Amino acid sequence: MSASYQEHGEIAVITLDNPPVNGLGHATRSGIVDGVQRALGNNAIKAIVLIGAGKGFSGGADIREFNSPKAMQEPSLHTVIRVVEGSDKPVVAAIHGVAMGGGLELALGCHYRVAIAGAQIALPEVKIGILPGAGGTQRLPRVLGLEAGLNMIVSGAAVMSEKLAGTKLFDQMIEGELLQGALNFAKGIAAQRPLPKVRDIRIDYPNADGYLQFARNTVRAVAGPFPAPLKCVDAVAAAVKRPFDEGIKYERDLFLELVQTTESKALRHAFFAERAASKIPDVPAETPIRPIQSAAVIGAGTMGAGIAMNFANAGIPVKLLEMKQEALDKGLATLRKNYENTMKKGKLSQEQFDKRVALISGTLAYEDLAQADIVIEAVFEDMGVKEAVFKQLDAVMKPGAILASNTSTLDVDKIAAFTKRPQDVIGTHFFSPANVMKLLEIVRGEKTAKDVLATTLALAKKIRKTGVVSGVCDGFIGNRMIEQYIRQAGFLVEEGCLPAQVDKAIEKFGFAMGPFRMSDLAGNDIGWYIRKRRYVEKPEVTYSKVADLLCEKGRFGQKTSAGWYDYKAGDRKPHPSDEVNQMIIAHSAELGIERRKISDQEIIDRLVYALVNEGALILEEGIAMRASDIDMVYLTGYGFPLFRGGPMFYADTVGLSNVLMSMQKFAKGRHAEAWKPAPLLEKLAGEGKNFS
């Protein structure tokens, strides 16, 4: 169903009915137009109420129709709004739940609007790199005023309906049942003429030019590489300075211009990629999930404590296990301090603080974890240590408990084999700091049960993470790819760069942090430990030895106040190190490498294309189900610039044949084996196709 029509005496009621959020798909748009015309054709009908079924009025465009012919098929949303606004019988929008995007634009096209408290009101289009395209930039400032309207449009933030009571957006706030309240309101205004139209409201704002210039300057300072926020200001300026019809046309032109930008395409790609990541072809949506009402975490270090906070934040009681009281006390103190810092910033109330801290308890005994529904180990990244932990868990945990490993590189199938219940074992790779970072890499073992996978994906949503499923391989999706990125960073410093140049180039490209700053933050000893394993397991893979020399000097990063950079006490700012720079230059000489000037573009291409090539291998091997999953891993866990859409999407925008040509050029230098193209990349480039 899309939109139903009923008559309540002299009031016609058109109900939007397109679950889950009454998206304005083609059938719904057609249903609204048919309903209005039916009401206009019946002399007994005096007014029309538009209302949403289920949990809201309308969440806007139907995302299932994005990029399909139906999205543009008549009646378009513009046509629907024109029909509603042009009705010679009053149309009342009755709002509850959500009125967002096109849903709010539809309501603004109605003659009257009533609402109940608790409805979320928003024009969030800027978040996908566009602006409201059906009159939102022209009508919202007319009902809220220039400043409030512009703020909502530029931020895309939702505002609760009760906060907008008293503005021209709502003619009445309804207490009690919405439909009955809307019917009563409609009866009361049925005879009023002329019918009020938002388009006829004038925006009176003293010195509007001065305010709009101030707004442009402010928005320009925070918009970064995204063009949409500034275009929103331009569109709202048209609402102030131009006749309504001209403003609507200008808004449409800006909308069509933004839709074509790479930045908007990247944001829309990320929007759909996040939704696609939770869909697993062989795990149907109706797969039953196991209840998660309690949790346990092994290890109260930085990672374990951060993981425990995620459960407490979601209202799930969690037990933290350590081997020694001192380590446990330290972990619990760290948790408390993290929450205190959040409270000091005003992001947590005392009541929330007390509630969350109370949900976390400590123990030194495995037996105390036995009844937890899920247990996550966050111990040292060593297979022997994991074996000891999982044998203990197998012995004490209740049947049906999910046994999860926070491993970042190790074989989850081997870990599962340490238990008599491999079907209950799964990888849950959190990213540091675990209470902040959005990514949760979910590693599906060969024997992981479907309901365990479905439960873990649902849990990711509950603890406000983006869950992305990976198959089992060394490093999974994220760390397997980052290894190639770090390898190239090492080769670049051997050949002529210094760490600061590499970091600066990739940060200018948009990364949150360059490879050397990232390594200093994570701890250079971690990479050293993994490389030592690689030297034995994969002797054919070459690495720069500069990072090993760094670690031999005890320069492990921020935790030792010395890594690739120097650090001052209490200051995380990296200061280029003469000692390290001289060490790098001396190492190049020892290898007989004549150092050369390397451009920032070469740095960017080598680092990013190393990610892309490994991503293509991961895709081909089925470790990742789709290219967009790889992009989600990098956007949410590794600081890849959002406006570039992730490594695989970025490669598509560059053109895969161009990526391949660059790689072939790099292969003529040192370490040619690092540039052996993935067969999938060669195939797609040869066919003129993309990853997506």
Catalytic positions are 105, 125
* H or E stretch covering 48: strand 47-52
CA dist., res. 59 & res. 95, Å (int): 11
Phi, psi of 430 (to 5 degrees): -85, 160
User: 256: part of which helix (H) or strand (E)?
Assistant: helix 244-259
Q: Record the tokens describing residue 85, joined without a space.
A: 């606004």
Asked whether 73 and 64 are in contact (CB, 8 A), the reply is no
Exposure on the CB side of residue 376, measured as CA atoms within 13 A: 30
Task: Render 428-475 in DSSP notation, one character per residue.
Answer: EEE-SSTTT--EEEEE--TT--HHHHHHHHHHHHHTT-EEEEE-SSTT
Contacts of 74 (CB under 8 A, 6+ apart): none
Instruction: Residue 291: name the closest of 167, 400, 423 by CA.
Output: 400
Number of C-beta neighbours around residue 686 at 10 A = 11
Tokens for 271, please give them.
């929007």
Determine the Cα–Cα distance for residues 296 and 316; give it in Å rounded to an integer: 10
Sign of the CA dihedral running 577, 582, 588, 590: negative
Alpha-carbon distance 401 to 409, whole Å? 23
> Which amino acid belongs to residue 339?
Y
